[in-house]
Chains A and B, each alone.
Chain A
């Protein structure tokens, strides 16, 4: 028959230190069985008295603490097995408090900041320094890290020009590229310092980047941008920021190459230094012919291969659209001429490559953007319009290779 020790008074020997009641309260707070704790601490106190008399107080205290620590798992287990719901709840709370406290302390220890250990660039970095294309003042952003790589909030980094081209550098790190060239600037935060190169390449203007045509499925291509420096010459070292307005049509990879994704038109913002420009990008869907085009196919391009004396006749959709023929081969002769107006077949282009239309369609020749490109703006009022491309005439290669693009202007 088990006795009811929980109703027994909690007592300790008088010779025990004052820590006993404290320990008892702490263990009771854990939710353990009071009788179990009383018995356990009673034995510990008795043994403590014995050991203090034989081994000394310090040794006895050390032993006492060690025994309490060793017994704690058993106290917890006892509370779980024999404790009432309230005691178990208290125990769960105690364990949770210990876990949370330990976690918070560990987290605080891991995330604590140490003394400054290194200076690193905050942005606009290349392999050996910073490219600055701005004409106006630029704030250098140097980050301060501790040994663990934590970023420290320090505003007392000081800057000075060490050598190179004469450009103004404030102690707060504001520079102004008044002339092209490289300058060595030192960032200091005692006892740390770091020298880095400022590649001053101020850009006065960006020549219109214009437009670019891409075809879905083609590999990523580049957009050509001309940045002009103070001396009127192109700047070869630029740090540009590019942003695609509609990234579902095309995206930019990390090296700035543009990858076409789906047919459509989008705008690319180009920022170099404190100058801005843009480029209009059209992405076409590749087709083999214009035959059977669906109404939703607004931007299509087809390959063209014409041998001397041969011609291509393709049906055209109704509506308003641009037609553009581009010769790919550098050997292709300039395709000069025009597309006239007419309601019947009317060969109108006077060049080795002739573009004409037949049927109820009106076309206007567009100015040639460059040699080898032939454009027309057309309105086909009824089905049945036909495009005729012919390669004839003396001179030039035996075959012309190119592409024919159709760009619908009306909405369906």
Chain B
């Protein structure tokens, strides 16, 4: 089985989509990332990453019906694909492997 290498931003975006489920559209993903990482990613960077994940087949997207307000826009919602879910699982295992053997939280040793 081939594995897909994920960048740091790709991983957190993919996790956000997985977490937000049906509510995973650009603005919501951005807010989620800002709340969890404390970083204010630009919309352009976010959409570039979403598009790249879609190109890799890890996400799929669809447009919602226009919002029920005057001139309401349709949002583009993203959904995790099976390949995306496998990529997340692979990333989790990879992280666990890296962290293996670190039994206790790392604390600075007092001199």
Interface residues of A (CB under 8 A from B): 1-3, 5, 8, 11-14, 36, 39-40, 42-47, 67, 70-75, 77-78, 82
Contact between A8 and B74, CB atoms less than 8 A apart: yes
Nearest-Cβ distance from residue A347 to partner chain B, whole angstroms = 107
For B28, give the chain A residue with the smallest CB separation: A43
Q: How far is the CA of A14 from the CA of B63 in the complex (A)?
A: 19
Q: Judge if B43 is at the interface, Cβ distance under 8 Å.
A: yes
Contact between B47 and A2, CB atoms less than 8 A apart: no
Contact between A3 and B26, CB atoms less than 8 A apart: no
Please choose the segment from B11-19, B65-73, B84-92, B94-102 that sits at the chain A interface, where 4 or more of its residues have CB less than 8 A away: B65-73
> Which of A2, A72, A82 has the most chain B CB atoms closer than 10 A to its own CB?
A2
For B47, give the chain A residue with the smallest CB separation: A40
Contact between A43 and B43, CB atoms less than 8 A apart: yes
CB < 8 Å A-B pair total: 82
Contacts of B61 in A (CB 8 A): 2-3, 5
Query: With A67-B43, A74-B42 as given contacts, are A40 and B54 in contact (CB-CB < 8 Å)?
Result: no
Query: With A8-B74, A13-B71 as given contacts, are A46 and B27 in contact (CB-CB < 8 Å)?
Result: yes
For A77, give the chain B residue with the smallest CB separation: B48
Query: With A2-B61, A40-B43 as given contacts, are A78 and B74 in contact (CB-CB < 8 Å)?
Result: no
Q: How far is the CA of A137 from the CA of B66 in the complex (A)?
A: 88
Contact between A71 and B45, CB atoms less than 8 A apart: yes
| Given A67-B43, A78-B48, 5 extra CB contacts under 8 A | A1-B60, A40-B43, A43-B47, A67-B42, A74-B48
Q: Judge if B7 is at the interface, Cβ distance under 8 Å.
A: no
Q: How far is the CA of A77 from the CA of B62 in the complex (A)?
A: 23
Contacts of B44 in A (CB 8 A): 40, 67, 70-75
Question: Could you give, for residues 19-38 of chain B, a 1 whenever the CB lies within 8 Å of some chain A CB and a 0 otherwise?
Answer: 00000011100100000000
Contact between A42 and B73, CB atoms less than 8 A apart: yes
Query: With A3-B62, A14-B70 as given contacts, are A78 and B27 in contact (CB-CB < 8 Å)?
Result: no
Q: Judge if B76 is at the interface, Cβ distance under 8 Å.
A: yes
Nearest-Cβ distance from residue A411 to partner chain B, whole angstroms = 83
Q: How far is the CA of A257 from the CA of B65 in the complex (A)?
A: 92
Nearest-Cβ distance from residue B55 to partner chain A, whole angstroms = 7
